[in-house]
C-alpha cells in the first residue's frame, strides 16, 4: 500500500503527541524503503484550509527540483521557497509511532485534544474533528456538482504516483 487512505481519529496527549495511524505508518515505511527516515515526516500548514498537511519526506523533496529551475535571484524563487520551506516542520516519530505537533500548527488547525487524520492519497491532512466532517461533506458536494472526473485512463491503468 503506497497511498494514504481513510480517516482515523486519535488523541493528542498532554505533551502534544499523537499516534500516527498504523496504516499511515505502514505507507511511510514503504516509501522510505528501509532508509533511516522510516519514521520521518514533513508537516506544514495548509494555506487553503485550517489543517495540517503531512508529507512523506521523499514526496516533499520532489517538489524542490522544479524550484531549482527558476532564477536563483528572482523574486519568484524567493517567494516560492519561503512559502514552501519556511513553514515546514520536519518531525520524526518515536518508537511508538507518535509525533509531536508543533504549537504553530496546532493553533493553525484549531486542534484541541482529539484530531483526525484524513488520507488524501500521496499525502494526508490533520484536522479538528468537526472541521474534518464539514470538509468531507463539502468535498463530496463540490466533487459532484462540478462533475469532477479523473484524468483519462486513470481507471484503466491504476495510476502512477
Partner DNA sequence: TATTAGCCCATGGTAACCCATGGTCTCCCA
Partner DNA sequence: TGGGAGACCATGGGTTACCATGGGCTAATA
From DNA, a second copy, none, interface partner of 19 (C-beta below 5 to 8 A by class): DNA
- The radius of gyration computed from the CA coordinates of the chain, to the nearest angstrom, equals 17
Sheet of strand 52-55, all strands in order from the earlier edge strand to the far edge: 7-11, 114-119, 124-127, 52-55, 40-45, 89-92
Contact letters for a second copy, residues 100-139 (x by CB under 8 A): ------------------xxxxx------------xx-xx
Question: How far is 27 from 58, CA to CA, in rounded Å?
Answer: 12
Q: Any bridge partners for residue 124, and if so which?
A: 54, 119
94 binds DNA (CB under 7 A): yes
Closest separation in Å from C-beta 31 to a second copy: 15
Question: How many residues form the binding site for DNA (CB under 7 A)?
Answer: 19
| Span from 17-25, 40-48, 78-86, 125-133 in contact with DNA (CB under 7 A) | 17-25
Closer residue to DNA (CB): 69 or 95:
95
From DNA, a second copy, none, interface partner of 46 (C-beta below 5 to 8 A by class): a second copy
Identify whether the C-beta of residue 91 lies closer than 8 Å to the C-beta of residue 13: no
Sign (positive or negative) of CA dihedral 30, 33, 34, 37: negative
Question: How far is 54 from 46, CA to CA, in rounded Å?
Answer: 10
Position of cell 524503503? 33
Element (H, E) at 29: helix 22-32
Question: Where on the chain is the footprint of DNA (CB under 7 A)?
Answer: 8, 10-11, 13-15, 18-22, 25, 92, 94-98, 100
Question: Where on the chain is the footprint of a second copy (CB under 8 A)?
Answer: 1, 3-7, 23, 37, 40, 42, 46-49, 53, 57, 59-64, 66-67, 72, 75-76, 78-90, 118-122, 135-136, 138-140, 142-144, 146, 148, 150-152, 154-158, 160-161
Amino acid at each position: 500500500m503506497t497511498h494514504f487512505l481513510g480517516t482515523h481519529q486519535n488523541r493528542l496527549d498532554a505533551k502534544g503527541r499523537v499516534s500516527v495511524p498504523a496504516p499511515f505508518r505502514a505507507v511511510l515505511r514503504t516509501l522510505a524503503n528501509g532508509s533511516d527516515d522510516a519514521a520521518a515526516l514533513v508537516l506544514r500548514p495548509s494555506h487553503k484550509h485550517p489543517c495540517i498537511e503531512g508529507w512523506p519526506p521523499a514526496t516533499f523533496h520532489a517538489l524542490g527540483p522544479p524550484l531549482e529551475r527558476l532564477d536563483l535571484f528572482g523574486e519568484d524563487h524567493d517567494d516560492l521557497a519561503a512559502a514552501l520551506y519556511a513553514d515546514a516542520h520536519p518531525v520524526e516519530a518515536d518508537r511508538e509511532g507518535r509525533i509531536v505537533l508543533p504549537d504553530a500548527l496546532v493553533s493553525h488547525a484549531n486542534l484541541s485534544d482529539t484530531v483526525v487524520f484524513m488520507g488524501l492519497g500521496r499525502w494526508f491532512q490533520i484536522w479538528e474533528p468537526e472541521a474534518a466532517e464539514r470538509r468531507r461533506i463539502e468535498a463530496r458536494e463540490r466533487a459532484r456538482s462540478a462533475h469532477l472526473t479523473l484524468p483519462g485512463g486513470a481507471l484503466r491503468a491504476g495510476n502512477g504516483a
